[in-house]
Homo-oligomer: A and B are copies of this chain.
Amino acid sequence: MIPIRILIFEDNSSLREGLCQLLMLREEYTIVGDFGDAGQVREAVIKGRPDVVLMDIDMPGINGVEAVKQIREYDQNVQIIMLTVFDDNSHVFDALKAGANGYLLKRNVSDRLVGAIEEVLKGGAPMSPSIARLVINQLHEQKSKNLYMLSDREKEILGSLARGNSFKLIAADLGISFETVRTHTKRIYDKLHVHSQGEAISKALNEKLV
């Protein structure tokens, strides 16, 4: 049986020790490295070839979010679980956006870590309940507003479309060229996943995007 390779970044040495011991209790896990900072994250990942990385958010020097970005630059497959003491949302989304796969509060580590590792390897996204709620809330907020990531200009043009204006009229209104309006609408359609003015207007009005 092939062991699951685990790499650990955690500046609190006693917690790092605890993690190592906890994981070594299970013979299916192999710890391919444990570090107190992410200074050598690149080399550690390349040499260790981990299946799973446990990454503390708050570390001296390079923080966890930065470390994740660096890992993702050359490895999209390794599963990364963030560890943090705080369930504020300041870094949660940064980390998830950077490419983290899970997010555990340190106070949940002891009873959830093993399950979390299994989950990420199955393609899941383990996270502590309070983190999950943050994510859900964020989704709800983004829903119908930021989810599509429309730029201000795009929202402006979508709004004008939704008032029934033609490209030509919008161009005149905004003092830009017809072609530019077309370029914007193309991107709007991409972001909204639609393929016609009708769909876009429908979506805009029904989801109150404008």
Residues of A in contact with B (beta carbons under 8 Å apart): 161-166, 194, 196-203, 205-206
Contacts and interface: CB of A to CB of B under 8 A. Distances in A.
Contacts of A199: 164
A166 B196 contact: yes
Nearest to A205: B205
B202 A163 contact: yes
Given A164-B198, A198-B198, A198-B201, 12 more contacts: A161-B198, A162-B198, A163-B202, A164-B196, A166-B198, A197-B197, A197-B198, A201-B201, A201-B202, A202-B205, A205-B205, A205-B206
Contacts of A164: 194, 196, 198-203
A205 B165 CA distance: 15
Nearest to A196: B166
Contacts of A166: 196, 198
Contacts of A198: 161-162, 164-166, 197-198, 201
15 contacts: A161-B198, A162-B202, A164-B194, A164-B196, A164-B198, A164-B200, A164-B201, A165-B198, A166-B196, A197-B198, A198-B198, A201-B202, A201-B205, A202-B205, A205-B206
Q: A164, A165, A202: which has the most chain B beta carbons within 10 Å?
A: A164
A163 B206 CA distance: 9
A207 to B, nearest CB: 12
Contacts of A196: 164, 166
Contacts of A202: 162-164, 201, 205
A59 B203 CA distance: 56
Contacts of A205: 201-202, 205-206
A110 to B, nearest CB: 51
